[in-house]
Structure formats: C-alpha cells, structure tokens
Structure 1
C-alpha cells in the first residue's frame, strides 16, 4: 500500500496550498477564525493563548475558542447557506471561501500522529468531513476526540465514530470509550476507510469497526478547543495545545 500523502510540518511555513489555518471560516472570516499556531522541530503546534478570540461569538452557543487547520475549504457566495458543517439553522456565509482541495481523500488509510495538553475545560479532535460540494456530502468520520475532563492518571476516554448530519446514507454511530493511553504523549490515531466500512485504530490497534462508509471525498480537520464558560474561579488551567507531528494518507488496502 503506497503512501499518497505525507505531511511532517517541517517546512519553513505552513503549506497553505494544503492547509487552511482557520476554523470553518465561511461562517465568520479567515481572519476572525484564524488559528494560533507555530511550526517547530516536533511539528505543528496549535494553541489557545489567553488572548485568543471567541469563535463566532454572536452565533455559537456555548462560547468556544478554537485553533484549527483544515485540509480542504470551500463555500458558496456571501449570503448563501452553502458552507461546511453548519452548526445551527439559518446560517449564512459571511466570507466566500475559494475552493481548496489540499488533502481530500476518498477511501484509504488516514493517520494522525499527535499529542495534546488539556485542562478540564478543553479538548482536541481530528476528524474528516465531506467538502459539501453537494449538501448530502456532509458526513463525518471522527478519528479521535478527547475532552480534558475525561483524562485519568493512565487512561483517557477516546471518542470515535461517524456522524451522518444531513447524509441520508449514514446513521449515527459514535461513542466515547476508555483506553489505556496518555494523550500527552505522541500516539497514532487512524482510520482504514474502505468501500465496505471503516476501521478505527489507535497505535495500529483496531478499537472500533463500522460497516458504514461515506462515499465521497473528505477533508481533515485538526483542532484544539477551549470552553470559557467551564472556567472555575481560582483554578488555573493550562494553555490548550495540540502538537501534530505527522499526517499520512495511503490508498486503500484490499481485504
């Protein structure tokens, strides 16, 4: 199985022909949704410092702050409802997005090597969504999602699975389960996405199998989140950080 995509974030800067360093920017703007990030010897660092703005503050409840990069981006014109992952009814595009298909596979093995620093009010996730070039091409494959308040001494609750959203060919299949893993250390989170289903893997061990398979190209989003309304007076919270050392994609392997 040959590798078709291999990103180690070791260039002089982020490759913006592949990665859009903003979170679902059609609903606000690339500037308002911009990530706080840096490239270092160990990869891409996405952080949420104290001065990082709240995302879509007049639209999204509860309030959240997010630093994310996504490997594809597009929208319809300003004033249309044609955007990616709408989070409420009646959303209108505020800034038209050019179409970017940096890494938008259709089937294959997709792997993300990363570590995270989280507190009780933060989380990180790596997930794939349809480009939504047609409204029904909107399903999600979640490689991993971890909330900081679900981390123990030597375990973490890892969420994986599929969300259909408005894709009539999919059904909800998503859960969060404990695993013996330290998310502060580097681990591989992956999916083996085939025409007959999706396997979810952590460090090359299958942790979930599904017989569903979204049948369209999907982009990858890597993000760290902070929920300000979960702050506890007098409790210091670490700066949320997601460090991504590598993203790889390979053609599907016959079973």
Structure 2
C-alpha cells in the first residue's frame, strides 16, 4: 500500500493540502479545522492508515505550537481538561477497530455544526456542570479514533471566552499531551510500520510550513474576529465529517 502511495500524484496533492491546512489550523486557530487531513487522505488510502500516518505530523505541529505560545498557557484550564482527555484516550484505545467510526463522525459533525451556528449555546456549555470532563473526554475519544479532537475541545474553549493567545497556547499543550499519550495504544495495534513512519517523515517539512503559516496568519487577525473564525472552522470541520460519511456510503 505504501509503495503505491509513493508514486501516486493524487496522494501527494491531498497530503500537501491536508498537512498544510492542519498545520495552519493547529498554530493559527487552535485546531479548529484539524479534522481536514484524515478525510482528504481517506480518498486515496484506508482511514486507519491515514490516522497512523498523521500522528507523527500532529506531534510535530503540537511541539511547534507550544514553542510559539507556551508563555500564554492557562494551567488552570489544562488541569480541568487533560485528565478528562486521558480517560477519553483510554476508552478510544479499547475501542480502536471496534466502534462504528461512521456513527462517531455523524454525531461529532452534527454537534459541531449546531454549535457553530447557534452562538447562544456557548454560555450554557461553558457554565454547565462537568463541561470540562464532557468535552475533554469526548476530545480524547475522537482524537484517538479519527484525529478529530479539535471540534469537541473548541466547543469548550469557545464557551470559556479565553484570550486568543491563551486559547492557542492551552490548546497546543492539550493536543501535545493527547498525541503523545496516543502513541502507546497505536503501537499496541501493530499497524504502525516503518514504511508508514518513513512516509510521515517525508511529509514533515509540510507540517513545519503549515504551523509557521498558522502563526503568521493569526498575527494578522484582530482579537475580536478570532472566535468568529474559529466558529467558521468548527462549522467546516463538522460538515467535512458528515460529508465523509455520506461519501463513504455512496
């Protein structure tokens, strides 16, 4: 499979778009459209392979994002959401290859679309009891299964009304912890081959370019417009998840 991808122009084009856009999303919009890479790559390769291919790249993006914004990190917020995410990762590790991914995508996609379009939900979700555990846990679960941890945690972060740089820094550390921990359940599946890792390394320059572009773009966006753009990316992410399920069924 990997050998075929090496000579596939479609793979390289989709990988270029997916990795660049994910990098921009990571360092520019706190992962607001971070689900774009797997749906794009799934057009030319199985979803599990796309998920494994992306993990080293996501880790690289997280490291760069943390480097850019680490001084703005909110430790208080991380203490609330990281334990929940770890529980979600544990559940996701047990469900790898067992849970119907299509159902998960539909639920997450639908929730993301509704939240992005209905701004009155934000205060309610931010103040509801157990919000950090709910969205942190869902983020860990969906991140483990389909690298779609961005929409759930951004639902929470939008509701918290954090300053832009605090949002970016906290999300960077959050995803960095999650993606590091995800290495262990991924290794246990036995699907991570040296060929796939080598392909990830070949795409590493795109991951670095994407995160640099994301930092540059967010510097041009006023604070008051940041949430609006994140809502838009949340909407796009939700629609992409739903579209992938519909396309797979055709």
> What TM-score bracket applies, with the shorter chain setting the length?
under 0.3
Question: What TM-score, normalized to structure 2?
Answer: 0.28
* Higher strand residue share: 1
Q: Which one scores higher on RCO, CA 8 angstroms, separation ≥ 6?
A: 2
* Higher helix residue share: 2
Question: What TM-score, normalized to structure 1?
Answer: 0.27
